[in-house]
Structure 1
Amino acid sequence: MKVTGWITGAAATVLVAAGAITYAVADGDGSGLKAPSADSADAGFARDMAVHHQQAVEMSYIVRDRTKDEAVRRLAYDIAQTQANQRGMMLGWLDLWELPKVSAEEPMAWMGMGDMASGEDGALMPGMATNAEMKSLGEASGKAAEIRYLQLMYTHHVGGVHMAGGCVRKCEVGVEKRLAQGMVRAQESEMKLITDLLKERGAKPPQ
């Protein structure tokens, strides 16, 4: 399968996300729960994971233009489409809950991490690449770009799984907990694929 139609796929993502948001409202979990508060785990996860996902989408679009390898481009396409879709859902929930998309709190405060979550040079949360790492990815090409992308995405997924697991434990909105559970399963599966792709290129995931 060739990786094509990135722009068309992005448009379709918006439609899928809109449908998913409608489902979330209609579902309501039958629990009668009110919209979560701005400082809840539900709101914190939606805000932080939306930012986390956006970088994964950016990295995937970068590597698309830096390699012609079909396996890596296919993985990047899948990650970009999936995470753009999920990001749209989470931002849509914040709108529906009438909550801000940006908080004065430190990232990951809802997980009890607060200022421990932020790294250096633009890495806002665990797993996120630094500005220098994003720059190096954009400057690499061919096999070097593939390895750089795969290693950065592996680390990104480690952070994403950690955050999604936190929502599974702490979030109260059922549809959001289910989304988080799905993220854990999908990203753990992708980490295994990434490990295999790195091995084929004589490299390993970061320790």
Structure 2
Amino acid sequence: MSRTPRTYWAAGSAVLLALLFAAAATVAAAPGDSGTPAGTPGLHSPDAGFARDMAVHHQQAVEMSFIVRDRTQDEAVRSLAYDIANTQANQRGMMLGWLDLWGLPKVVAGEPPMSWMGTAEEGGEHGGHSGQSGQSGHSSHSSTSGDSGHSGHGAAAGPGALMSGMATKEELAQLASASGRDAEVLYLQLMTDHHKGGVEMAEGCARQCRTPVERDLAQGMVDAQRSELTLMADMLGKRGAAPRG
């Protein structure tokens, strides 16, 4: 029961931070003739693609973290899970806030996940909405089924996973049914894979995104998640286990 006030606080913070960071992302943009701020990311830009994909990626991390908090009494794992859930819920709020401010959809039907990671090298558009290409956008991201990668850029998603590092429905069910040490080990292994995929995506945005505050957020994700990867490897070792793969 004590988690409820903190959960509400985290949700409120996510909304506030989303608005603040979204405003910062476009405050310097001058209005164009169409009324759309000049420099606003386009539908298929790395900026928009990263915001959409990482919002989905983060949502699963939050879900896994709340699952494990109910499956173990180990304070170290519960504390890590709570930190990950809070951090990634707040960051997700920021990214969804940017999409709202840019006037872009959070879901674009048909676009392969992580396909934005190739747009910089391939001359993908960025500014405004006039550069939207004929390539269809995202799938709904509501399912973890399928073998979608991201058009050959970086590591492809594993079988049954939506994006690189994401757990499958079967793995989430396994986590929900585990308890004690088994739940701790599986969570740490799944979150290690998840962070590796997240770091790959965030590095892509840090290289390709043109919105300075979004690049800064992406680089912050890289630094924080690399640190957590080291921590989780140590926690696994203390439990006589190791990262998968």
- Report if TM-score (shorter chain) is over 0.5: yes
Using the alignment, how far apart are the partners of 2:3 and 2:215 within structure 1? 29
Aligned-CA RMSD value: 1.7
- Structure 2: stretches of 5+ with no match in the other structure: 31-37, 119-148
Amino acid aligned to 1:6: R
Q: 1:158 aligns with which of 182, 196, 201?
A: 196
Q: Is it true that 1:12 corresponds to 2:9 in the alignment? A: yes
Larger Rg: 2
Using the alignment, how far apart are the partners of 2:87 and 2:180 within structure 1? 24
After the TM superposition, which residues 65-144 of structure 1 pair with which residues of structure 2 at under 5 Å, given as runs?
65-103=70-108, 104-112=110-118, 114=150, 117-121=156-160, 123-144=161-182
Using the alignment, how far apart are the partners of 1:106 and 1:55 within structure 2? 18
Tell me the TM-score normalized by structure 2: 0.78
Q: How big is the shift at 1:16?
A: 1.9
Tell me the TM-score normalized by structure 1: 0.92
Q: 2:64 aligns with which of 59, 62, 66?
A: 59
- Other structure's SS at 1:163 match: helix
Aligned residues: 203
> CA-to-partner distance for each residue in 1:34-90, whole Å, 9 max, x for gaps?
210010000000000000000001100110111000000000000001001111111
Amino acid aligned to 2:85: A
Q: 1:24 aligns with which of 21, 24, 42?
A: 21
Q: How big is the shift at 1:114?
A: 3.0
Q: Is it true that 1:200 corresponds to 2:241 in the alignment? A: no
- Other structure's SS at 1:203 match: coil
> CA-to-partner distance for each residue in 1:106-147, whole Å, 9 max, x for gaps?
1001013635545432x1100000111111111110000000
- Other structure's SS at 2:244 match: coil
Q: How big is the shift at 1:149?
A: 0.3
More helix by share: 1
Q: How big is the shift at 1:12?
A: 1.4
Q: Is it true that 1:173 corresponds to 2:170 in the alignment? A: no
Using the alignment, how far apart are the partners of 2:7 and 2:212 within structure 1? 27
Amino acid aligned to 2:3: W
Amino acid aligned to 1:153: M
